[in-house]
Amino acid sequence: MFIYLSIHPSIHPSSQPAILSVCLPVCLSVCLSVCLSTYLPACLPVCLSACLTVVCSFFLYIFKFLYFLGCNETLTGFNGTFHSPNYPRKYPDGQYCSWRIAVSPTQQVHLTFTNFSLQSDNNTDGLYVYDGENSTGEVLGVFYGGHPPPKEGIYSSSNHMFLIFKSDRSGSYTGFSALYSAVDYSGKISVFLRGHYL
Ligand SMILES: [Ca+2]
């Protein structure tokens, strides 16, 4: 349970003590009432372990649901802007946010960045761009501080683009500010090959 709490990417670290402060007293109360009548020495640790796993997981599920509600956005305008959490201040650790862009069916999405400042190493903080409505689409790029998006921008092949921003447990920067617009379909698509966009 503690390992799960500390590694789950969607949970902000500051929330972990709060979750524990709720589920621990609940489990102590339940297990004490159950074990006091059993006379089995192993009852309390076994009960606590099982209870914490179940109860804390339940609170985590509720927390995740509320957390993702505030961090997911669908953009349907002809054009628009969006940015990382807290921008232009530093984004918090432990973020997992998404943006779904949907424009007119006869158009495609052109995405550019007015600012991009993420942690420099791969597999720390990153922005994942998908060609489609969700993360099952083809990956158009994985961008981080050491590998920023191309200045000319990124094109989807259809009228949908999907983005996920993740930050890990330490090291935060100012993040990104992005601008998208619907452009008439030209067949242009961003293809990443051997370190260069074609
Ligand atoms: Ca980080």
Centre of ligand 1 from the C-alpha of residue 46, in Å: 36
60 versus 114: the higher-pLDDT residue is: 114
Task: Pull the structure tokens for residue 163.
Answer: 């983005």
- Whether the Cβ atoms of residue 59 and residue 71 lie closer than 8 Å to each other: no
Centre of ligand 1 from the C-alpha of residue 169, in Å: 6
Confidence label for 3 from pLDDT (cuts 50, 70 and 90): very low
Centre of ligand 1 from the C-alpha of residue 7, in Å: 13
Confidence label for 85 from pLDDT (cuts 50, 70 and 90): very high
Centre of ligand 1 from the C-alpha of residue 3, in Å: 19
Confidence label for 31 from pLDDT (cuts 50, 70 and 90): very high
Confidence label for 62 from pLDDT (cuts 50, 70 and 90): confident
Q: CA angle at residue 134 from 130 to 140, to 5 degrees?
A: 5
Centre of ligand 1 from the C-alpha of residue 170, in Å: 4
Q: What is the mean pLDDT of residues 83-109?
A: 93
197 beta partners: 192
- Whether the Cβ atoms of residue 87 and residue 103 lie closer than 8 Å to each other: no
Confidence label for 59 from pLDDT (cuts 50, 70 and 90): confident
Centre of ligand 1 from the C-alpha of residue 76, in Å: 30
Centre of ligand 1 from the C-alpha of residue 56, in Å: 25
With CA atoms as reference, report the closest residue to 80 among 110, 51, 53.
110
Order of strands across the sheet with 175-184? 79-83, 175-184, 107-117, 154-155
In this prediction the pTM is: 0.67
Task: Pull the structure tokens for residue 164.
Answer: 């996920």
pLDDT at residue 91 tops 50: yes
Cis peptide bond prior to 85, omega within 30° of 0: no
Centre of ligand 1 from the C-alpha of residue 43, in Å: 41
* Residue 6: predicted pLDDT: 39
Please provide the size of the chain in residues: 198
Centre of ligand 1 from the C-alpha of residue 84, in Å: 13
Centre of ligand 1 from the C-alpha of residue 58, in Å: 27
Cis peptide bond prior to 13, omega within 30° of 0: no
Q: Which domains does the chain have, with CATH numbers?
A: 12-68 (no CATH), 72-188 (2.60.120.290)
* Residue 4: predicted pLDDT: 39
39 versus 35: the higher-pLDDT residue is: 35
